[in-house]
Amino acid sequence: MSKRDDILVATKQLFWERGYEATSPRDIQEVSGAGQGSFYHHFRSKRDLACEAISEVVADRIAEFERDMSGPGTLRERLDRFLVQPRESLKGCRIGRMVWDSAIDDPRLREPLARYFRHIEDRLGAELNAALERGELELKVPAEQIVLMVLSALQGGFTISRATQQRRVDEVVSALGGMLDVVMIIC
């Protein structure tokens, strides 16, 4: 693996742990084992590196979501594969983690995050509507509202977990499951 990759790996790790602002080029150099020279040879600036690192994380997370959703099983089973998974909830969602970083004002850094949320929302919404049309399920609330609740509850769960230093995301997923049992009836 090249130094360039080492730098990207270290950046993604540190961004997950501390976010953009709290991660300095020197931190990245220490964790990756690369020096100043390598750092600025491969990346014009910290911002440029961040841009690439964030895009990679988003691509990874979208791929993982697609893997969960495109496997076998009913829609509910596939959704549960995405929802019920071991999460390091105190570190936060790798994507949502960075939303409140002030550097996110830069559209280059913000756009990948927006793309992530749009993707999950669009994709899950389409799955729900397709299942509805196939007569596989019945909904007591609009599909778009269900999708938005899933996304926002998950993200909020991470926020509450970090604030209280307790793994509340698992409870949020349970609560979400309980709600879905009521508003989403499998035919």
Q: Which is nearer to DNA, 41 or 118 (CB)?
A: 41
Rounded to an integer, what distance in angstroms lies between the CA atom of residue 33 and that of residue 10?
9
DSSP assigned state of 138? E
Q: Which is nearer to a copy of itself, 85 or 145 (CB)?
A: 145
> Is residue 41 close enough to count as binding DNA by CB under 7 A?
yes
* Number of Cβ within a 10 Å radius of residue 137: 16
Rounded to an integer, what distance in angstroms lies between the CA atom of residue 178 and that of residue 31?
42
> Is residue 54 close enough to count as binding a copy of itself by CB under 8 A?
no
Smallest gap, in angstroms, from Cβ of residue 147 to a copy of itself? 9
Q: Given the rule CB under 8 A, which of 6-14, 30-38, 66-74, 161-169 is the region that contacts a copy of itself?
A: 161-169
- What are the distances in angstroms from CA 65 to CA 84, 94, 95, 150, 174? 12, 13, 13, 13, 19
Q: Which of residues 163-182 bind a copy of itself (CB under 8 A)?
A: 163-165, 168, 171-172, 174-176, 178-179, 181-182
* Number of Cβ within a 10 Å radius of residue 9: 16
Exposed e or buried b per residue across 50-79, where buried means at least 16 C-beta atoms within 10 angstroms of its C-beta: bbbbbbebbeebbeebeebbeeeeebbebb
> Is residue 42 close enough to count as binding DNA by CB under 7 A?
yes
**Residues at the site binding DNA, with contacts judged by CB under 7 A:** 2-4, 21, 23-27, 33-38, 40-42, 44-47
Residues near a copy of itself (CB under 8 A): 18-19, 21-22, 92, 95-102, 104, 110, 113-114, 116-118, 140-142, 144-146, 148-149, 151-157, 159-160, 162-165, 168, 171-172, 174-176, 178-179, 181-183
